Amino acid sequence: MTIEQQRQGFAFTGSGFPTDQESLRFRRASSRMSAQIYHEPNSGTSPAQEEEQSGSEPTRELRNMVFPMALKKAVWQVQQMQAPAQFSGGSWKQKKTIFVRKFKSNVREFLYFFSLWGKTLQKIGGNFGGGVQSYFIFLRFLVVLNFVSFLLIAGFVLIPSIVFRSVDIKPEISEANVLSAQIHADCLKYDPNPQGLVVFYEFLLDLLSGTGFMEYSYMFYGYYNNTVVVTSLVGSDFSYNIPLAYLLTAVFYFAFCLICIIARMGKAARVAVTTGGSDVRSYSMIVFTGWDYGCLGSKATKLKQRNIYYRLQVDLEEERLKKHAASLTLCNKVTLYSLRVLMFFVAIGLIVATFVAIAYATTFSQENNNVQGFLGLFYTYLPSIVITTGNFLVPLLCDQIALLEKYPPSATVVVALLRAVVLRLVSLGILLYTLWNQIVCHGSTDTCPCHYNHSNYQCWETSVGQEMYKLTLFDLLVSIALLVLVEFPRRMVVDHWSCKLTQWVGRQEFVVPSNVLGLVYGQTVVWTGALFCPLLPLINTVKFVILFYCKKITLFYNCRPALRTFRSTTSAFFFLAVLLFGWILALVVMIYSVAEIHPSFACGPFRSFLRMWKIVPDSLAILPKGTRDFLFFIGSQAFSVPLFAVSCVFMCYFIALASIYGKSVAMLRAQLKLAGQDKQFLVKQIEKMKLLSPQDNEGKQD
């Protein structure tokens, strides 16, 4: 019987009832299952085990039978009707397990319904592939991270400061206020409040630059007090140390972001290791396990089909490029690697030129910060303009360089990301280094009594926060301007004007590496400025929400599917690794600001302290002796060195365990490959025997 005849034998009739052949198989299957249900129990098994065996064995055999799904469902229904009522503990456990499983499934579906942009992400993945989808998933992760971070800052710093100011609680005089009387009078001058009426355009300039009415508000560092609030609430003394809360909130904010990044990196690494590889096994996983049976409707089905198509396209393209690279001759390899080295130095030259331009622009902007009007606004935004221009032009040139280097798609993404990382994050480091070089006092105490450049920076923390605020705001304005002034006009010209130039330009592609680095750059700016601008995480949350919808609009209306896609599993891990690099850069900035630079005397919660970190030992000094000794022991070498040694031991153990598991997985993969080769060999032998069997029969007949 042929395969087509077998399929026709399993087909249902037009009336919806099974055919005679199917009814016969149905009766045989149901009788065999019924016989297994009513089997005689063994003397060595308990009733609970008998019930588990009677419930699991027929289901397992039915699952392994080669029948259509409708027939299996009918057999299962007959089994349920024929099964006797069970009231023992084993049946209750089985029903409890089924109930818990269904409850978890319903909760998961309920949470997915309320998940942020769930359907939009599914639509993006189906139309443009997993690589573009990973960008929007990464953007959603940053939105949630910034919002939760803002809640942390608001709960411990912002809301207590607002409450204490509104209730008009008189703060306790701290040691910082006593020391302020011994400071030079010029160091205490700081008056950011505007005098008299403010013209509307000046109000707009203040909003864009963070000066004027915004400078002395909860937005920036200089508005927060340096006092310890002590009051009586409900018959008990209540004290709140605002400087200590300000510093520890910043520390916990960085720790929380690190934990979120590491947890997400671990999840992405597991997915990358599980689905990694470009051999036959990955194709089999995509073809046989890549389908989502929860897709309902033709629209969701088409989206999933497109997603699988893009994944196969990426794997096949990488396999083709690997075969092409393996077929190169020695001369071609030498030429290719020489060209890559030359293009590497060209890219490095472009990046260094951008760094020099940023340093000159920052110095010129700080020297002309007293200019008023729109010209002063231009000078204020000059470092942001140079950074944005360099981040826009240099990656475009590096992309053209990457075309000459002829890397595989995944390697091209990695190289582009590395160059963009160095460009964006180090450019931010150059900006901060130039600012600190002007803030820090290089002379003696006689020439610099305030220990920092007070003449140009009366509250240097607020000045740094203003720079980070302007970078964040300018990045959002540039994204909106590109959408309205560049991307929409380009799409309209390409769609409605047919010529060789428009055909050559075409619709733009959604370049994932540059867009991801834009997110990492924006998040690094927020981490850097969060100590000096506490509301910056909230601003960044709003910015990323607006950016999500802007990118969604430009993706669906202005972009075409990318001609060269890449694997989303490895890219998701690399995106988080780049984000971790930005976190490290921001951590270095915070540590240097807290431990090295003298705080401003005229503003902020750490005025008159020699260093911001000095608030921690001063606060520990008022604790009870036992608590103080315990905390000092935790911070001493007697505790940290053994802890580091134990951590190294555990790390070596887990590394060795991972190596053993890796070797076991490699051996299993080799066994699967050999098993596949054996099956192919057996199939070929069977085909040869089928070809030889008719000839043998003819010989016997003769």
Tens of pLDDT, residue by residue over 83-128, are: 554 444 456 777 777 888 887 777 777 666 667 787 888 788 777 7
Rounded Cα distance, 584 and 594, in Å: 15
Q: Which of 41, 31, 44 is nearest to 86 (CA)?
A: 41
Rounded Cα distance, 592 and 248, in Å: 16
Can you give the pLDDT at residue 25? 44
Can you give the pLDDT at residue 3? 41
pLDDT tens-digit readout, 354-385: 888 888 888 888 777 777 767 777 777 888 88
pLDDT at 667 over 80: yes
Can you give the pLDDT at residue 544? 93
pLDDT tens-digit readout, 648-662: 998 899 888 878 877
At 253, the pLDDT band (50, 70, 90 cuts) reads very high
Q: Which helix (H) or strand (E) holds 487?
A: none
The sign of the dihedral angle between the CA atoms of 552, 472, 371, 222 is positive
Can you give the pLDDT at residue 534? 92
Q: Are 388 and 478 in contact (CB under 8 A)?
A: yes
Can you give the pLDDT at residue 10? 40
pLDDT at 408 over 80: no
Count of C-beta atoms within a 10 Å radius of residue 639: 13
pLDDT at 58 over 80: no
At 22, the pLDDT band (50, 70, 90 cuts) reads very low
pLDDT tens-digit readout, 486-530: 888 888 888 888 777 777 777 787 877 778 888 888 999 999 999
At 424, the pLDDT band (50, 70, 90 cuts) reads confident
Mean pLDDT, the chain, whole residue set: 76
Can you give the pLDDT at residue 561? 63
Can you give the pLDDT at residue 153? 92
Rounded Cα distance, 696 and 702, in Å: 10
Whole-prediction pTM: 0.73
Q: Which of 134, 154, 78, 86 is nearest to 570 (CA)?
A: 134
Can you give the pLDDT at residue 633? 82
At 542, the pLDDT band (50, 70, 90 cuts) reads very high
Output 569 or 658, whichever has higher pLDDT: 658
The sign of the dihedral angle between the CA atoms of 109, 110, 111, 114 is positive
Rounded Cα distance, 17 and 9, in Å: 13
pLDDT at 405 over 50: yes
> Measuring CA to CA, how many Å separate 218 from each of 159, 169, 605, 617?
10, 18, 12, 27
Tokens of 483: 């959408």
Percent of the chain with pLDDT over 90: 10
Can you give the pLDDT at residue 184? 62
Instruction: State the average pLDDT over residues 464-479.
Output: 89
Percent of the chain with pLDDT over 70: 75
Instruction: State the average pLDDT over residues 599-619.
Output: 83
pLDDT tens-digit readout, 382-396: 888 888 888 888 888
Q: Are 248 and 239 in contact (CB under 8 A)?
A: no
Q: Could you tell me which residues come within 8 angstroms of residue 261 by beta carbon, excluding any fewer than 6 positions away?
A: 576, 579, 580, 583
Output 108 or 26, whichever has higher pLDDT: 108
Instruction: State the average pLDDT over residues 136-165.
Output: 90
Rounded Cα distance, 432 and 531, in Å: 14
pLDDT at 305 over 80: no
What does 630-676 look like in DSSP terms, one character per residue? HHHHHTSHHHHHHHHHHHHHHHHHHHHHHHHHHHHHHHHHHHHHHHH
Can you give the pLDDT at residue 445? 61
- What single letter denotes the amino acid at residue 546? I
Instruction: State the average pLDDT over residues 554-579.
Output: 72
Q: Could you tell me which residues come within 8 angstroms of residue 225 by beta carbon, excluding any fewer than 6 positions away?
A: 161, 164, 171, 242, 605
Output 426 or 542, whichever has higher pLDDT: 542
Can you give the pLDDT at residue 293? 63
pLDDT at 79 over 50: yes
Output 449 or 35, whichever has higher pLDDT: 449
Least confident of 176-190, 260-274, 381-395: 176-190
Range from 28-32, 225-229, 341-345, 420-424 that averages highest in pLDDT = 341-345
pLDDT at 1 over 80: no
Range from 47-61, 169-183, 302-316, 452-466 that averages highest in pLDDT = 452-466
Least confident of 494-508, 537-551, 554-568: 554-568
